[in-house]
Amino acid sequence: MRKIAMLTSGGDAPGMNACIRAIVLTSLRYGIEVFGYRHGYNGLLEQEYLGLRAKSVANIIQRGGTILHSARCLTFKSDDSAKIAAKNLDALGIEALLVIGGDGSFRGAKHLSNHWSGQVIGLPGTIDNDIYGTDATIGYYTAIETALESIDKVRDTADAFERIFLIEVMGRHAGFIGLNAAIASAADQVMVPELSRSCEDELENIINHIEAVKKRRGNASYIVVITENLWPDGVTKLAEVLTQKTKVECRPVILGHVQRGGSPVSQDRVLATKLGAFAVESALKGESGVMVSEVNQQLKCQPLELSWQQQKELDPYLVKIQQDLFDFIKRP
């Protein structure tokens, strides 16, 4: 193998730069030229790339974001776009393309493989951790830490004013950040897609729990962690309803894109480095149409389709702990 290319696609995640660094240094170690396409699949269509050397990735392991930049590319879903990408890759002499991103990025990689004879390998990079077939995704640990730091700071204000705070975290259709941040911050309640009920039931549940807490310890702070897009009218509307029904001031805090940024924590740097190096070694072994992953400290290659065809489940024991503590507080 003489030439490898890579791109980062979809939402950025802390640790992507660490992964880029590992791919570059591992490739150079094996005497492989390595190229980076800028702006995700858009760069692949526009043949926007740069050659990467050791100095290109110096001092980037601690940086958030991605030096290749990222973007979403809806036009890449067409067959014509995939054929253009294949032609561009062949023109540059690329033998393997490594794609760092989430399930949408992997679908794009699979689509490309239908029109290109080169090797395609995915590396799971998303803060949501919603990729089946790997214990964790690049950026996930940092997102939890960012959410936790924010919740801890909000707790100080909540305690000072004895308010209810609704903390909205990212997670799209997955509650991994929400559940883990709630456990780590000792939140009073968590609302995630996997455990959600009807709006009426959820509202009644929150109100009953707040009343139980007030009976136990009087007026006090109350923290609810909720994943984005879970409440139909938004977390701001939910805060208004809770204020009206409980007579306790309730404030929403939407963490938003701050969870995507910042210096990656050690777990993300290590995971990104392992997966980046393993992806290059897998390419050298002829692997294609796969995602590299880590399961129980074992590096593996999984079919790309598996990443979106099966739903990744929350840790059942963490769910049990949260529910047990929630039920304990409600006791008279």
Q: Where are the domains of the chain?
A: 3-139+264-309, 143-260
- Rounded to the nearest 10 degrees, the angle between the axes of helix 266-284 and helix 140-161 is 160
Residue-level pLDDT at 188: 85
Residue-level pLDDT at 250: 87
Give me the architecture of the 143-260 domain, per CATH.
3-Layer(aba) Sandwich (3.40)
Residue-level pLDDT at 160: 73
Residue 291 in tokens: 């995602």
Residue-level pLDDT at 178: 94
Of 81, 33, 30, 110, nearest in space to 308 by CA? 110
Residue-level pLDDT at 295: 96
Mean pLDDT: which of 256-270, 291-305, 315-329 is highest? Answer: 291-305
Residue-level pLDDT at 328: 61
- Percent of the chain at pLDDT above 90? 67
Which of residues 206 and 314 earns the better pLDDT score?
314
In terms of Cβ atoms closer than 10 Å to its own Cβ (0-12, 13-18, 19+), residue 224 is buried
> Does residue 4 have a pLDDT over 80?
yes
Residue-level pLDDT at 26: 98
pLDDT band for position 204 (cuts 50, 70, 90): confident
Which of residues 169 and 188 earns the better pLDDT score?
169
Lowest mean pLDDT among 19-23, 152-156, 267-271: 152-156
Cα separation of 237 and 230, whole Å?
12
State the average pLDDT over residues 224-235. 88
pTM above 0.85, yes or no: yes
Beta strand pairing call for 49-52 and 33-37: antiparallel
| Sequence-ordered list of residues with C-beta below 8 angstroms from that of 299, at least 6 positions apart, any chain | 274, 275, 278, 292, 293
Of 17, 6, 209, nearest in space to 89 by CA? 6
> Does residue 332 have a pLDDT over 70?
no
Catalytic: 128?
yes
- Asked if domains 3-139+264-309 and 143-260 share a fold, the reply is yes
Mean pLDDT, the chain, rounded, equals 91
Selecting among 103, 128, 130, 268, the annotated active-site residue is: 128
> Does residue 327 have a pLDDT over 70?
no
Three-class DSSP labels, the chain: CCEEEEEECCCCCCCHHHHHHHHHHHHHHCCCEEEEECCCHHHHHHCCEEEECHHHHCCCCCCCCCCCCCCCCHHHHCHHHHHHHHHHHHHHCCCEEEEEECHHHHHHHHHHHCCCCCEEEEEEECCCCCCCCCCCCECHHHHHHHHHHHHHHHHHHHHHHCCEEEEEECCCCCCHHHHHHHHHHCCCEEECHHHCCCHHHHHHHHHHHHHHHHHHHCCCCEEEEEECCCCCCCHHHHHHHHHHHHCCCEEEEECHHHHHCCCCCHHHHHHHHHHHHHHHHHHHCCCCCEEEEEECCEEEEEECCHHHHCCCCCCHHHHHHHHHHHHHHHCC
Q: Check: CATH 3.40.50.450 for 3-139+264-309? A: yes
The predicted-structure confidence for 55-82, as pLDDT tens digits, reads as follows: 999 999 999 999 999 888 888 999 999 9
